[in-house]
Amino acid sequence: MTFGRLWEKFLASAYYSDLSPRTQKDYLQHQKKLLAVFGKVPADSIKPEHIRRYMDKRGEQSKTQANHEKSSMSRVYSWGYERGYVKGNPCAGVSKFKAKNRERYVTDKEYQAVLSVAPLPVFIAMEIAYLCAARVSDVLSLKWEQIGNDGIFIQQGKTGKKQIKAWSPRLQAAIEKAKQLPTSAYVISNQYGNRYMYKGFNEMWVRSKKSRRQNFRYFNRLHLS
């Protein structure tokens, strides 16, 4: 089986379908470079040294993208290994480039400035994301069935990690506000009672930032971009 065929199987899998739209988009973007190099190569003939060579060459253009593409390739191999399509993962043990951290701490003043003008769906999402250290994709996919007596059950779309975020008065207040939104299976719903798609939600988030002249993009308290 070629690596290209393995990649096709991954994209057609239930695992891929369960990923967030943004993560799916990342895989589709990464495949352009990866398949151009490895697409026609038998998957089991690709070795760690080949991955390293690719990383070094790709890193001349962008070390960050080289890291992301290697991560996607590694995930596809791990998925294939668990299902008997390949004998191993050649990405294992191949080191990534040390990337500059683009995150910065956002002050309470900045956070509250945006929160004060945010539409109700954005307000709720900001609070849940901040208080639960959750990604926006995981917050938007949050359903009422995940709200329990002990807290909020969250499964990270990227890592699959499962955890329950215990209640705090502030977190409970955010969930109470969510009850003001149209009835839906989702905690944060649009006017039609449907889940917000990332693009539409992000537009509201950007408008909220601009209205308060805030331009932070990545930060270590709220996983929005």
Q: Is the pLDDT of residue 219 over 80?
A: no
pTM of the predicted structure, to 2 decimals: 0.55
Average pLDDT, integer, range 111-118 = 87
pLDDT at 203: 85
What's the pLDDT score for residue 143? Answer: 96
The boundaries of every CATH 1.10.443.10 domain in the chain are 108-211
pLDDT at residue 36 in the model:
97
Q: Residue 213: what pLDDT?
A: 63
Which carries the bigger pLDDT value, residue 210 or residue 73? 73
CATH class of the structural domain 108-211: mainly alpha
**pLDDT score at 111:** 84
The CA–CA distances, whole Å, from 8 to 13, 19, 63, 79, 169 equal 9, 16, 25, 12, 46
Q: Considering the chain, what percentage of its residues have pLDDT values greater than 70?
A: 89
Cα(55)–Cα(4) distance, integer angstroms: 18
What pLDDT, on the 0 to 100 scale, is given for residue 123?
Answer: 94
pLDDT band at residue 120, thresholds of 50, 70 and 90? very high
Note the pLDDT tens digit of each residue in 168-215. Answer: 999 999 999 999 999 999 999 999 999 988 788 888 878 887 776 655
Tell me, what's the pLDDT at 137?
A: 84
**Mean predicted lDDT score pLDDT of the chain:** 88
What's the pLDDT score for residue 218? 36
Q: Where in the chain is the domain with CATH 1.10.150?
A: 3-82
- Decide which of 65 and 212 is more confident: 65
Tokens for 68, please give them. 């992301």
pLDDT of 223: 45
Measured CA to CA, the distance from residue 205 to residue 223 in angstroms comes to 12
User: Taking the domain 3-82, which CATH number applies?
Assistant: 1.10.150
Instruction: Please report which helix (H) or strand (E) contains residue 50, including its range.
Output: helix 48-59
User: pLDDT class for 221, splitting at 50, 70, 90?
Assistant: very low
- What does the pLDDT average to over 120-141? 90
Q: List all residues 6 or more positions away from 69 whose beta carbon is below 8 Å from its beta carbon.
A: 30, 33, 34, 58
Can you give the three-state secondary structure of 81-141, one letter per residue? HHCCCCCCCCCCCCCCCCCCCCCECCCHHHHHHHHCCCCHHHHHHHHHHHHHCCEHHHHHC
